[in-house]
C-alpha cells in the first residue's frame, strides 16, 4: 500500500512547513489526486487517520480533490476527458486516429493547501 508512504511524505512536508511558521497542529490538508495517479483516495484517508492518531495532528481533515483525466490528441490536437487508464489506448473520440495522447492533467498528485494553527 503505497498510500502509507505518500501520507508519511505529506506529513513530513507539513511538519517542515509548520516548524518554519512556528505552528504545531495541522487542521486541514488538501491534496489534488489525478484520476490515473494510481492513488486510492479511500486508502489515503485511512492512512492519514492511522498516521495522525496520537500525534498533535489528530483530527485534521484530509480533503482529496479528484482531478479528471484530460488528454490531448497528437493527431487533431483537441482535448477531451478520458475515462481512466484505458482511454490512453483507445482511438481518439474526435478524429478516430490512434497515434497517442499528451496527458493534460490526471496524473498529478500534490499538496494543494495546508492549514494549521
Ligand atoms: Zn484526434
Which structural domains are found in the chain, ordered by start? 3-116 (3.30.2320.80)
* Separation of CA 105 and ligand 1 centre (Å): 17
Whole-model pTM: value is 0.88
| CB neighbour list of residue 117: distance below 8 Å, 6 or more residues apart | 23, 24, 25, 27
pLDDT of residue 1: 62
Distance (angstroms) between ligand 1 centre and the Cα of 62 equals 37
- pLDDT tens-place string over residues 19-44: 999 999 999 999 999 999 999 999 99
d(CA 35, CA 82): 9
Q: Give distance in angstroms: CA of 3 to centre of ligand 1.
A: 34
Amino acid at each position: 500500500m503505497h498510500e502509507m508512504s505518500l501520507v508519511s511524505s505529506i506529513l513530513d512536508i507539513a511538519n517542515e512547513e509548520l516548524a518554519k511558521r512556528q505552528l504545531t497542529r495541522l487542521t486541514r490538508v488538501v491534496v489534488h489526486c489525478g484520476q490515473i495517479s494510481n492513488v486510492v483516495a479511500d486508502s489515503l484517508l485511512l492512512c492519514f487517520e492511522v498516521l495522525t492518531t496520537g500525534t498533535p495532528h489528530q483530527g485534521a481533515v484530509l480533503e482529496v480533490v479528484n482531478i479528471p483525466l484530460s488528454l490531448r490528441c497528437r493527431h487533431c490536437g483537441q482535448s477531451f476527458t478520458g475515462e481512466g487508464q484505458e482511454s490512453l489506448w483507445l482511438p481518439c473520440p474526435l478524429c478516430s486516429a490512434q497515434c497517442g495522447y499528451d496527458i493534460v492533467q490526471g496524473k498529478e498528485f500534490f499538496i494543494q493547501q495546508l492549514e494549521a494553527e
